[in-house]
């Protein structure tokens, strides 16, 4: 028995180690391909440059950084209030039987392939924006709305978990002091679950920044500084997705370099989410 | 001795968890500005009875209440009664200290804020007054804005009492408020109760016979969901009418 345990332990260790090292290799590869170009162009010119014309050797990705920022910001603006409201509703007001149906349904939203979201946005949302608000319709606004929906499952399920993980005496304590149900939720439970809710928002941001397919279909992909929510735009991910097929040389390296920046942004977001959920547990 | 007012009266009170009856035909007069102690073996329905007095029982799903409870002669189970208002009049201190994960100040300010008081100065006054009344002010005055969870258990429990006082209730229900505390902290709470008795009606559940005998004016003995005996504390402890009460208060129950 002992010997068998040892063997299983070794095998698991090997598997864990190899998956970590594959991740490490991928990161190493991206950095290896991307960093030399950032060095060649100069980090400042690369990150703050506004011109992206690969054929002329100008590689400035500021429009894409700004595009990613706006789309994510818009998604959060829509997804957070909606997601938090759903989470509160699910954990506090929904009868258990209905919640048992709703919860997996919401999880299912996360399983819909992003190309479907993109397709839906292209057919329904883009014409609506074009007809009623003007502009090309393929825009930051359309992208934000779609992304807002795509991050809902993340925000709802993590926020709801953290609300339900609260000790029941927070709520009963507040009610016994003469608070209404809503006051107990808003003044005691939501603040107590704050770190979990913030973590859900950060994970949602990570998802929004990383989304590629739906954004390629909806954003219009123009390489210019967006000036309004009705402008079309390009994000860091869509930049890679669109051009990778035909890029070579410096151009190809510049796409990896875009990936490096993306990688760093997402690392920062994820580690802050982890730090926050650690603090919640302690 | 002057005639005492009845603050709370229960008549034919029954309570069910699903099909299990936890309170059986409870009849009791709880006197104003007196300390009433409820004693009895574990599981006999003391906490359930206490929760029936501020209608927090109904937060537990699949439960049912029958009979009547009057507060100042007004039926609290009347349909359409303002339950939130009732809970403001009948405050509750729980067995385990349960401060909110907020600062000391915010814990006490919670009640006034919920009552719709927005003036900062008014809230500050209430916080100070309540903490003083709960004999906690001198220990926390210099760290009002630090987390309540850093206080000792005894301090947390007094904070919970302060939190209730800030709502300015008429009745304070205490469910074994000292069971998580050491003897010194317990003594502090008992002294505090004597002080609070001047203004509030107090109902306390306790497993500690000495505590009940020491602190209370009236005592009720619960057994298996029934209120077996109720009367002045001295009578209940020195000349109980029921053999089972006698066995329990002398520690021969079993
Ligand atoms: N939430 C609940 N759901 C179902 N039954 C319950 C619930 N709470 C209490 N009971 C049952 O009701 C009866 C009375 O419980 P209660 O908590 O009022 O007793 P108690 O006298 O306060 O006991 P203790 O001294 O241990 O606190 C017990 O048989 C208990 O098992
Ligand atoms: Mg109890």
Range of the domain at A174: 62-281
SS (H, E, C) chain B: CCCCCEEEEEEEEEEEECCEEEEEEEEEEEECCCEEEEECCCCCCHHHHHHHCCCCHHHCCCEEEEEEEEECCEECCCCCCCHHHHHHHEEEECCCCCCCCCEHHHHHHHHHHHCCCCCHHHHHHHHHHHHHHCCCHHHHHHHCCCEHHHCCHHHHHHHHHHHHHCCCCCEEEEECCCCCCCHHHHHHHHHHHHHHCCCCEEEEECCCHHHHHHHCCEEEEEECCEEEEEEEHHHHHHCCCCHHHHHHHCCCCC
Length, in residues, of chain A? 282
Q: How far apart are CA A129 and CA A4, in angstroms?
A: 63
150-189 of B, contacting A, C-beta below 8 A: 160, 163-164, 167
Question: Is the confidence at residue B12, as pLDDT, over 90?
Answer: yes
Say what the pLDDT of residue A275 is.
Answer: 84
Does the residue A53 lie in any domain? Answer: no
Give the CATH H-level superfamily of domain B6-100+170-249. Answer: P-loop containing nucleotide triphosphate hydrolases (3.40.50.300)
Is there a single domain that holds both residue A70 and residue A44?
no
Domain boundaries, chain B: 6-100+170-249
Question: What residues flank ion ligand 2 with Cβ within 5 A?
Answer: B 47
Residues A8 and A146 grouped into a single domain:
no
Residues A207-218 pLDDT 10s: 999 999 999 999
pLDDT at residue A129, as a whole number:
92
Q: Assess whether A112 and A179 both reside in one domain.
A: yes
Q: Quick one: pLDDT band at residue A1, thresholds 50, 70, 90?
A: low
Question: Which of the pair, A137 or A188, is modelled with greater confidence?
Answer: A188
Residue nearest to atom 12 of ligand 1 (CA): B22
User: Is the domain of A251 the same as that of A208?
Assistant: yes
The CATH number covering residue A262 comes to 1.10.3720.10
Same domain, A13 and A130: no
| B84 part of contact set with chain A, CB < 8 Å | yes
Task: Read off the pLDDT band of A273 (50, 70, 90).
Answer: confident
CA distance B194 to B34: 9
Reading the block at residue B4, the tokens are 């005492």
Q: Are residues A263 and A202 in the same domain?
A: yes
Q: Does B238 touch chain A (CB under 8 A)?
A: no
Based on the fold, state whether residues A247 and A145 are members of the same structural domain.
yes
| Shared-domain flag, residues A82 and A210 | yes
- Reply yes or no on whether the pLDDT at A277 is more than 80: no
The predicted structure's pLDDT at residue B251: 78
Q: What is the pLDDT of residue B9?
A: 96
pLDDT in tens, A99-130: 999 999 998 988 999 999 999 999 999 999 99
pLDDT, mean of residues B149-153: 94
In a domain, A55, yes or no: no
Q: How far is the CA of B17 from the centre of ligand 1 (A)?
A: 9
Please indicate, yes or no, if residue A146 is contained in any of the structural domains: yes
Q: Highest-confidence range of A54-58, B15-19, B132-136, by mean pLDDT? A: B15-19
CA distance A60 to chain B (A): 47
Is residue B57 lining ligand 1, measured as CB closer than 6 Å? no
Shortest alpha-carbon distance between residue B160 and chain A (Å): 9
For A4-54, what is each residue's pLDDT tens digit?
Answer: 888 999 999 999 999 999 999 999 999 999 999 999 888 999 999 888 998
Same domain for A222 and A263, yes or no, is yes
| Mutation test residue for ligand 1: of B20, B43, B44, B65, the one with most atoms within 8 Å of CB | B43
The verdict on A40 and A73 lying in the same domain is: no
Are A37 and A135 contained in the same domain?
no
Q: Are B6 and B31 contacting, i.e. CB atoms less than 8 angstroms apart?
A: yes
Domain count of the fold of chain A = 2
Atom of ligand 1 nearest to the CA of B51: 18
- Against a cut of 0.95, is the pTM above it? no
B165 C-beta closer than 6 A to ligand 1: no
Report the pLDDT value the prediction gives residue B122, as an integer from 0 to 100.
95
Ligand 1 pocket, residue B234 CB under 6 Å: no
Task: Kindly state whether residues A24 and A91 are assigned to the same domain.
Answer: no
pLDDT (average), residues A83-91? 95
Say if residue A206's pLDDT is above 60.
yes
Q: Which of A270-279, B113-122, B135-144, B155-164 has the lowest mean pLDDT?
A: A270-279
């Amino acid at each position: 028995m002992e010997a068998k345990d040892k063997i299983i332990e070794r095998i698991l260790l090997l598997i864990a180690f190899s998956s970590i090292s594959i991740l490490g290799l991928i990161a190493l590869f991206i950095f290896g391909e991307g960093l030399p170009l950032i060095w060649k162009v100069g980090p400042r010119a690369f990150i703050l440059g506004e011109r992206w014309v690969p054929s002329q050797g100008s590689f400035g990705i500021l429009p894409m950084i700004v595009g990613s920022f706006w789309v994510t910001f818009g998604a959060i603006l829509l997804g957070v209030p909606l997601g938090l409201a759903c989470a509160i509703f699910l954990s506090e007001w929904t009868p258990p039987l209905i919640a048992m149906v709703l919860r997996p349904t919401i999880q299912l939203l996360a399983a819909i392939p992003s190309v479907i979201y993109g397709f839906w946005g292209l057919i329904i949302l883009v014409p609506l924006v074009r007809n009623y608000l003007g502009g090309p319709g393929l825009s930051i606004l359309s992208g934000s709305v779609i992304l807002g929906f795509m991050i809902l499952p993340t925000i709802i399920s993590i926020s709801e978990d953290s609300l339900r993980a609260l000790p029941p005496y927070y709520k009963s304590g507040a009610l016994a002091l003469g608070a209404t149900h809503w006051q107990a939720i808003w003044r005691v439970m939501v603040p107590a679950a704050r770190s979990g809710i913030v973590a859900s928002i950060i994970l949602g941001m990570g998802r929004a920044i990383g989304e590629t397919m739906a954004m390629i279909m909806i954003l219009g992909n123009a390489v210019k500084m967006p000036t309004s929510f009705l402008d079309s735009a390009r994000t860091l991910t869509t930049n890679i997705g669109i051009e990778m097929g035909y890029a070579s040389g410096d151009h190809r390296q510049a796409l990896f370099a875009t990936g490096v920046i993306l990688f760093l942004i997402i690392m920062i977001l994820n580690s802050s989410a982890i730090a926050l959920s650690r603090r919640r547990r302690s | 001795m002057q005639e005492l007012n009845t603050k709370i009266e229960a008549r034919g009170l029954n309570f069910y968890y699903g099909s299990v009856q936890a309170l059986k035909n409870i009849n009791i007069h709880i006197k104003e500005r007196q300390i009433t102690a409820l004693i009895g073996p574990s599981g006999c329905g003391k906490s359930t009875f206490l929760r029936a007095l501020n209608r927090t029982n109904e937060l537990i799903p699949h439960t049912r209440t029958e009979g009547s409870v009057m507060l100042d002669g007004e039926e609290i189970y009347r349909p359409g009664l303002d339950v939130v208002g009732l809970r403001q009049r009948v405050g509750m201190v729980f067995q385990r200290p349960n401060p909110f994960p907020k600062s000391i100040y915010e814990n006490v300010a919670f009640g006034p804020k919920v009552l719709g008081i927005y003036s900062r100065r008014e809230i500050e006054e209430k916080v100070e007054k309540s903490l003083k009344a709960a004999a906690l002010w001198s220990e926390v005055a210099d760290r009002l804005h630090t987390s309540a969870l850093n206080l000792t258990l005894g301090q947390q429990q007094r904070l919970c009492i302060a939190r209730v006082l800030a709502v300015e209730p008429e009745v304070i229900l205490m469910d074994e408020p000292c069971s998580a505390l050491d003897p010194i902290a317990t003594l502090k709470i008992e002294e505090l109760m004597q002080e609070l008795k001047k203004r509030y009606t107090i109902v306390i559940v306790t497993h500690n016979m000495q505590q009940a005998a020491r602190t209370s004016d009236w005592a009720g003995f619960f057994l298996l969901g029934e209120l077996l005996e109720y009367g002045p504390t001295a009578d209940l402890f020195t000349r109980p009418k029921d053999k089972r009460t006698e066995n329990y208060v002398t520690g021969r129950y079993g």
